[in-house]
Structure 1
Amino acid sequence: MTDRQVRLYELAKMDAAARARLMVRSEEDLQGFVDAVRPIVAAVEAEGDAALVTYAKRFDGAPASFQAIATPPEDFAWAEKTVSREVAEALAFAADNIRRYHEAQMPEEMWLKEMRPGVFAGERWTPIDSVACYVPRGKGSFPSVALMTAIPAIVAGARRVVMLTPPGPDGRADAATLLAAKLAGVSEVYRVGGAQAVAAAAYGTKSVPRCLKIVGPGSPYLIAAKKLLADRIDPGMLAGPSEALVLADDTADGRLAALDLLVEVEHGPDSSGFLVTPSRAVAEAALAAIPGFFGKMSETRIDYTMTVLSSERGGIVLTSDLQSAYDFVNDYAPEHLMIHAREPYQHLGHIRNAGEILLGESTSNTLANFVIGPNNVLPTNGWAKTMSPLSVFDYMKRATVAHVTPSGYAQLAGAAETLARYEGFDAHANAVSATRADLLATRRK
């Protein structure tokens, strides 16, 4: 089936340079991708829909007859007839859980606290006006991403939510993705993918509305376009190719750990994934189990999986102890982290950096990707050190709110004037000086 071998790394025997190479993700150096997408972005800016049609045919395999970017209403009806009842029910089940989770996540619309007598300060949350939800295609169809990107946008109250997704060989959007859009509450779906989708949302075309923000995962080309257009559109989280770590202690079943290791690395040859364990027995059990799982996988997915696991972006990392395993996890800052242990909570406090943390051998990454409810759009390439999963907060913004009463003003003005004069801002100082006090006194007469 394959003559490639899953790599086993003994971390204690590796020097700093070799260890650092294990941290590298496929989107780490984007310059080549930025150079590749620059002419695409320029063409969309100059030609609009005509460029989108050209690239749909060239990159997505859309038919020669493909012309319309917007998905017509009849395609939604086609999707409902095309998607099997089993898939439709699974999507509805997932949508319900995703909606429940994100509704629970919603912040209080406004809060004010009295900082000092007569001095009130707080925050007010409001939704953003427009957002484009990107749903990838190519190595698979991802209606789950349609749910995960669109539902929190609707829950957050974003004023206009559109979906961008590549057309297939028939020129249509994926049927299940269209059904997911409808379940989420999105009626505007545009058949455009890759870097050209980012450009369309950034500049706007005759068909695609200009949006303030774009969210959703994608290839390094998509990430490169987001970086290139960051001055035109909020690129949101830079979620790239899939990656995962499985942390397993000596109570774990290596076979189950191996089963979960394969989940993310089957996404594509640009994915990343490691099983990290201080137990040689667990590592050896996982190595022995992996070939047996290939009997229920397609040749394509096996090829993707082994491309990753036989490279420096995947395999099994054997550490000298648990602390070394924790250190590796925190340095890597994975998109997905699964903890296989009889007592997984005992490890949770040692983890600082991960997009999501799945506890216990029953909490498969597959469940998290589709039906538990938390978002499956997560920071990749180590960004989990500073970024969080996609949430309702990505479709909202905060404004600080303050109200100072006359009695409160009297407590603040002196210190504010002193600081303003120290920093050399005359108008600032005048605005809280005796000049204001005199004007206020006049108004109260």
Structure 2
Amino acid sequence: MDIPVRRWRDLNNEQKTSILQRSEININSVMDPVHDIIRRIQDNGDAALKELSLELDKVDLDLHPFRVGEQEFDQARENLADEVKDALLFCIENVRSYHEAQLSRSMEMMEIRPGVFAGERASPIDSAALYVPRGRGSFPSMLYMLGVPATVAGVPRIAVLTPPNRDGSIDPACLYTAEICGIEEIYRFGGAHGVAAMALGTESVKPVAKIIGPGSMYVAAAKRLLSDTVDVGLPAGPSESAVLADAKADPYLLAIDLLTEAEHGADSSAVLVCTDETVAGRAAEHLAAEIEKLPQPRKDFVSSVFSGYGAVIYADSIEEAAEIVNLYAPEHLQVQCHEPFDVLPLIRNAGEIILGDNTPFSAANYAVGANAVLPTGGRARTYSPVSVRDFMKYSSVIYATKAGNALLAEHVAVLAEYEGFPAHKNAVQKRR
């Protein structure tokens, strides 16, 4: 396929907007059917969950319990190849080390004024459901990226919902990963119906306080529609990446790194922003050649990406290139420049920033330790990667002595009267 190289300055506003768009915009097209799925779960609970699993997943949950049993964990542990187990243990250890360093401590009480004390207490949320997608492959890495910070935070109840195979089984690597993370509550359903069941509850499924994890546009639509009922966490949709490069970058490495996130699916996104037209052109040539070598369905996925939500563009300066990245606000960003640490201060919006050409996206996705569940659809402008903090909440803790209240009372009374709250004023003055 031919992948054009375009100069950013020569594009009109419509063309620029097109490059910056992501497939998440299409979510509105599935809102109506997802709303119907949610209504069915709300009205008919377990019965609707079984019907929808049969309709959408082709799995008869009359033949399989909703929740995975102990025997299935045992079988997964016995049947999974040792090299896969070793890789999972290695990566989980790295992720745990990173996230243990994030664990928030309660803020010590500090004396704001004589006799007036304030602090902050950190505590885990009561429950969380981790969504692990299954439609385009098996993703045990997704499970540990969610499960490790949840367990480090100390969430008392952690559930996993993941679509089953046609025979009703769950991916053995996911079951093994859950066991290593200390998670026992695994459900064999996913999709919009699974999200609705965990948010609303059914006769057999207890609802949770938070549902977090990426999924299809149907999952994203369900989470959006249920956001008033349950905390749905950061917006994590189809995979996306950007690579920022200069004249010193290796065009071949640029090409193979662009393929990494693009091979997730046709709704993924991948953009190269380069300050050198020649390097960009050679990268595009390598990219086209490497696409031809991919097996199906990955070849079709990547071809679709670079026919729709992918682009190779060049900028006139590193400052312009960085600003394009900031406008794009990618989930994953790789900086392949001669001095990447000099470029870092120019980047404001990115879910993760990988510096240099020694760490491909895939290494960060699996093994470095930093979380790979990141905001998508341009939400990196305001959202952060999944962390221990996603599973914590914070309460202010306040205490005042009698003398401390007396010190506050005069000022509180003045402001309460100004705002028209006589009860507020009395509450502090009557304690003098």
Instruction: Tell me the residue number matched to 2:194.
Output: 197
Distance 1:22 1:295, change over 3 A: closer
2:303 is equivalent to residue 306 of structure 1:
yes
**Candidates 272, 276, 293, aligned match of 1:275:** 272
- Listed one character per residue, the Cα deviations across residues 137-192 of structure 1 (whole Å, up to 9, x for unaligned) are 11111100110111111110111000000010121111111111111110010011
Instruction: Tell me the residue number matched to 2:357.
Output: 361
How far has the Cα of 1:255 moved from its partner? 1.0
Q: TM-score, normalised to structure 1's length?
A: 0.94
How many residues align? The count is 432
Instruction: Tell me the residue number matched to 1:92.
Output: 89
Distance 1:278 1:66, change over 3 A: farther
Instruction: Tell me the residue number matched to 1:322.
Output: 318
Q: TM-score, normalised to structure 2's length?
A: 0.97
Instruction: Tell me the residue number matched to 2:30.
Output: 33
Letter in 1 for 2:336: H
Partners of 2:59 and 2:28 in 1: CA distance: 28
- Listed one character per residue, the Cα deviations across residues 207-261 of structure 1 (whole Å, up to 9, x for unaligned) are 3221011000011111110011111111111110000001111111111111111
Partners of 2:186 and 2:6 in 1: CA distance: 45
Q: Secondary structure at the match of 1:436?
A: coil
Partners of 1:148 and 1:296 in 2: CA distance: 30
- Superposed CA RMSD in Å reads 1.4
CA contact (8 A) 1:25 1:272 kept: yes
- Listed one character per residue, the Cα deviations across residues 321-359 of structure 1 (whole Å, up to 9, x for unaligned) are 211111110011110001102221011000000001011
Partners of 1:292 and 1:27 in 2: CA distance: 28
Unaligned 5+ runs, structure 1: 438-445
Distance 1:170 1:421, change over 3 A: same
- Listed one character per residue, the Cα deviations across residues 292-323 of structure 1 (whole Å, up to 9, x for unaligned) are 43465212101100100122x10211112211
**Candidates 412, 416, 433, aligned match of 2:412:** 416
Q: Secondary structure at the match of 1:123?
A: strand
CA contact (8 A) 2:123 2:393 kept: yes
2:387 is equivalent to residue 426 of structure 1:
no
Instruction: Tell me the residue number matched to 2:208.
Output: 211
Letter in 1 for 2:361: N
How far has the Cα of 1:65 moved from its partner? 6.4
Matches within 5 A, 1:64-213: 66-213=63-210
Distance 1:116 1:64, change over 3 A: closer
How far has the Cα of 1:64 moved from its partner? 8.2
CA contact (8 A) 2:3 2:288 kept: no
Partners of 1:14 and 1:295 in 2: CA distance: 28
Q: Secondary structure at the match of 2:204?
A: coil
Instruction: Tell me the residue number matched to 1:385.
Output: 381
- Listed one character per residue, the Cα deviations across residues 87-129 of structure 1 (whole Å, up to 9, x for unaligned) are 1110111111111111110011332222222222121101111
Letter in 1 for 2:300: D
* Identical-pair percentage: 44
Distance 1:88 1:295, change over 3 A: farther
Instruction: Tell me the residue number matched to 2:46.
Output: 49
Instruction: Tell me the residue number matched to 1:243.
Output: 240
CA contact (8 A) 1:190 1:208 kept: no
CA contact (8 A) 1:5 1:309 kept: no
Instruction: Tell me the residue number matched to 2:231.
Output: 234
Unaligned 5+ runs, structure 2: none
Q: Name segments (4+ residues, structure 1) moved above 3 Å.
A: 63-67
Deviates more, 1:45-54 or 1:165-174: 45-54
Letter in 1 for 2:403: S
CA contact (8 A) 2:170 2:188 kept: yes
Letter in 1 for 2:270: G
Matches within 5 A, 1:244-263: 244-263=241-260
CA contact (8 A) 1:109 1:125 kept: yes
**Candidates 8, 13, 18, aligned match of 1:11:** 8
Letter in 2 for 1:108: R
- Listed one character per residue, the Cα deviations across residues 186-208 of structure 1 (whole Å, up to 9, x for unaligned) are 00100111111110111112332
